[in-house]
Amino acid sequence: MYEHTKVILSLLLLPPVSCTISLKGLQGQLTSLDYPQGYANDLQQSWEIEVPRGYGIKLSFTHIDIEPSPDCAYDHVQIFCDEILHPLICGSNSREGKQFQFPQEYYTTGKWMRVTFVSDFSNEERYTGFAAYYTAVDINECEEEDPCSHYCNNYIGGFHCSCRPGYFLQENQRTCGVNCSGEVLTSFKGVITSPNYPKPYAENSQCQYRIQIEQGFEVILEFAEDFDVEGDPSIGCTSDVLKVTSGAKKYGPFCGDQAPVVKGHLSNVVEITFDTDGHGQKKGWKIIYRSTAKQCSTDILEHSIIQPKKVEYDYKDSVQLHCESGFELYDIQRSEHISSALVHCQKDGSWNSNLYICMPVDCGPPTKLMNGHENFISTVYTSQNQYSCEEPYYKLEGNAVFNCSEEAEWIDATSGQLTLPKCKPVCGNCLLSSKTGRIFGGQQAKPGYFPWQLRLVTTRGEMGGGALISDRWVLTAAHLFDNSLQVEIHGGLVDLRRRSPEGELPMELAIIHPSYRKQVEDGQPNFNHDIALIKLREKVKLRSNLAPVCLPGPGGASLPDDGTLGYISGWGRMEKRKLAVILQYAEVPIVSMDECKNSNYDGPKPVFTPNMICAGLPGVDSCQGDSGGPYVFIDLQNPSRHVVRGIVSFGPQECGNYGVYTHVGNYVDWIETTMKEHEDRETDLEVI
């Protein structure tokens, strides 16, 4: 009830008297108002004491007599210093029998203190108040906080740090470090260690070392002996840190107890920094460095060979430069090929070789193939050329792929030989699909049906036919040459009113079978061995209506069975005794020789030999003007090929039944050896 009244009353009364006294001297006194007469109600007094830097404050109460209350809630003194609000003080240290439980002396470490005194609206009796004095007291900073890394010296009002011998006080005036910077090493080899190595290195130090040697040389660093730097490399060296920098190359941070390895050659300038923190006792490190002349690389020039061969080349070394096989050394400045060059390793580690290049050898364009094509992108070493032939008239014989060799020659990719492939004529191909028709009783051919068919006219105007059997040889009948050794030959023709693009195919020589005798002997016609070869002066260019027919292969002497059909073709006489203008052809079967023997001949019966084939049908026959022309058969092994088995030879004057054909199969050996005998050496080279 009493307390309650007090609260209400205090609300009704004026606010308490309040004032602040500021005290600045090294000492002073403070007392409650009207001390020692007794303090008034509703007081609020405060003192702010401030002493110079480096001092603390000691406050001693000489007298305290303040109305006691639970927790000193009514009247009290309170001290605030060093950020601490001390407990409220009340009661008396001077009245007998009263226990006083508060300290009578207060100390600060800071230079500032505030004392407040508060009295409430009533006092039950008179209290004299308090008296206190303060003095500035020296703070022993050295004891309080140990601010120096080495020695701490306290003096009144402050402290001073000092260092062990060899150390100097750093700018912060607290820590000691060593003088470990500014050293520049310029000799070609040397040693750098952490300060005091192998004794523990100094703390709080930033050391900088520099190696700076002559340009053109390179520094090689090596850690020697013990390596012992505080910190853990796995977490990035957070305590003490050693770093090596050389140009763009950076090594470290290094720490821990494993000596790091600085691989390779550093430039001629190397910076080493070593920063240590404030604690730790580690041995440090030792670096031995040496230097070498700047090295030149071992690959000087692409595709080059260098002599002498070394693992490394130093400044002033020189080597002889050649090129790998397939390449030639080229002097760019003089624009000429040279066999070798002497080059030097220069001060900057480069070779003076940029005046040279190893150029691949050039095979030049590959030899042209007659009736073929070359296919290549480049002609330098390792390039490839692929030959092909003009199909379907020519086929490649030999290897198609050639490579440009080291010797600047195109060589066969599989055999390594120089021999070129050849484009060989393809025989027996024609546009004729089996069409039955009947020269005498025949039908008109179309271009490409009989591309081997040639027209022969002797100087005496006799008409005949022939067959192209290669791009240079013609097969015909011997009897065409009975009266003249010269013939005019035309190929690529169907309609005689038109001209062929080839014009005349001039003959070089005619070879009549050596056993052929002029047809009339004892009045009896003898056409035995009615076969001749003509060599053309030049090879013909094969095309759709000018291509060879095939010769019978091995075993060609044996004929297909009687009844087998073959084609005869020519511009000879037709049914109405007129010569044909458009090439005629017909299909006739092989028949028994008896049919020919039994035919009606105007004069004496001709001679029949096994070198002859009898063929024909009533109404379908060859006739005058067809002589020398081919009688061809489809090759059963390869039905797109046509083989010449007969040559129009003779028959009854009255055409239209059976005719006699030279049995070509009996002469294949003679044909081949004759052609070989007369083969041109120089055309073998196939140079255009």
Residues that bind ligand ARG (CB under 6 A): 464, 572, 621-627, 648, 650-652, 655, 659
Taking every pair of Cα atoms in the chain, the longest distance, rounded to a whole number of angstroms, is 193
Instruction: For ligand ARG, give the closer residue by CB, 421 or 606.
Output: 606
Question: CA–CA separation, 453 vs 456, rounded Å?
Answer: 10
Candidate list 479, 490, 642, 663, residue with the active-site label = 479
E strands, 617-686, where? 630-634, 642-650, 658-663
Instruction: Compute CA distances 257 → 201, 283, 309, whole Å.
Output: 14, 10, 41
Instruction: For ligand ARG, give the closer residue by CB, 203 or 626.
Output: 626
Instruction: Show the tokens assigned to 358.
Output: 């190893």
3-state secondary structure of 148: coil
Query: What is the smallest separation between the CB atom of 538 and ligand ARG, expressed in angstroms?
Result: 27
Instruction: For ligand ARG, give the closer residue by CB, 260 or 572.
Output: 572
Query: What is the smallest separation between the CB atom of 588 and ligand ARG, expressed in angstroms?
Result: 9
Is the distance from CB of 395 to CB of 363 less than 8 angstroms?
Answer: no
Q: How many CA atoms lie within 13 A of 6 on its CB side?
A: 12
Instruction: Show the tokens assigned to 544.
Output: 């759709």
Instruction: For ligand ARG, give the closer residue by CB, 421 or 625.
Output: 625
Candidate list 120, 228, 530, 621, residue with the active-site label = 530
Question: CA–CA separation, 28 vs 497, rounded Å?
Answer: 151
Instruction: For ligand ARG, give the closer residue by CB, 408 or 579.
Output: 579
Query: What is the smallest separation between the CB atom of 597 and ligand ARG, expressed in angstroms?
Result: 14
Is the distance from CB of 132 to CB of 31 less than 8 angstroms?
Answer: yes
Is the distance from CB of 456 to CB of 488 less than 8 angstroms?
Answer: yes
Query: What is the smallest separation between the CB atom of 458 and ligand ARG, expressed in angstroms?
Result: 10
CB count in 10 Å sphere of residue 158: 14
Query: What is the smallest separation between the CB atom of 527 and ligand ARG, expressed in angstroms?
Result: 8
CB count in 10 Å sphere of residue 315: 18
Instruction: Show the tokens assigned to 90.
Output: 């009340």
CB count in 10 Å sphere of residue 125: 6
Candidate list 246, 627, 649, 663, residue with the active-site label = 627
Question: CA–CA separation, 619 vs 615, rounded Å?
Answer: 12
Query: What is the smallest separation between the CB atom of 682 and ligand ARG, expressed in angstroms?
Result: 36
Would you call 627 a catalytic residue per the annotation? yes
Instruction: For ligand ARG, give the closer residue by CB, 372 or 659.
Output: 659
Instruction: For ligand ARG, give the closer residue by CB, 447 or 659.
Output: 659
Q: Which of 667, 568, 583, 565 shows the shortest CA–CA distance to 622? A: 568
Query: What is the smallest separation between the CB atom of 515 and ligand ARG, expressed in angstroms?
Result: 19
User: Active-site residue numbers?
Assistant: 479, 530, 627
